[in-house]
Amino acid sequence: MLEYLLSFLILTGATLTFIGSLGLLRFKDFYMRLHGPTKATTLGVGSLLIASALFFSSRNVGISLHEILITVFLVITAPVSAHLLAKAALHLNLHSFAKMPAKSTKREEGTDDDAMDTQTPEEKSSSSDTDVPRKPV
């Protein structure tokens, strides 16, 4: 029974980690590529670690809780590194498919004009709206 649970966790973890890495290949600009490793990988490594904790706890040498620490550190550090990478990319003005908000570019140039409170123009492509899965939040 435990073996089935462990195999399930390990396979899920491996699949999710693989999909997260696949994102690096499939996405088209730097900022989009950041999304794969920060998210899909967190749960992937998380379930591998749960499997590890269960396995070593079941081998009657006492419960093994190192893995919780690894998970906690991973959850704390992954967003920080992603944030710094994004910041560096913005600093270098890397090409991006996403539009900058109008206000931000204004502030970057030093003309802090809050009266320019214009909305970012909507993306023009509306043809494929229905096929794209919306995020469920």
Partner 1 sequence: MARLLPHPILSPTLACLWLLLVNSITPGQVFLGLLLGWMIPLLTLSFWPEAVTIRKPLTLLRYIGLLLIDIIMANFTVARLILGDPDRLKPIFVELPLDLTSDLAISLLANSITLTPGTVSARLSEDRRYLLVHALNETDPDALIATIKRRYERPLQEIFELC
**Which spans of this chain sit near partner 1 (rule: CB under 8 A)?**
16, 19-20, 22-23, 26-29, 31-32, 34-36, 38-40, 42-44, 62, 64-66, 68-69, 75-76, 78-80, 82-83, 86-87, 89-90, 96-101, 103-104, 107, 119-120, 122-123, 125, 128-129, 131-137
Q: Residue 56 — φ and ψ, nearest 5°? A: -75, -25
In the bound complex, what is the minimum distance in angstroms from residue 77's beta carbon to partner 1? Answer: 10
Residue-wise burial string across 7-44, b where 16 or more C-beta atoms lie within 10 A, e elsewhere: eebbebbeebbeebeebeeeeeebbebbebbbbbbbeb
In the bound complex, what is the minimum distance in angstroms from residue 124's beta carbon to partner 1? Answer: 10
In the bound complex, what is the minimum distance in angstroms from residue 13's beta carbon to partner 1? Answer: 11
Q: How far is CA 48 from the centre of its chain?
A: 17
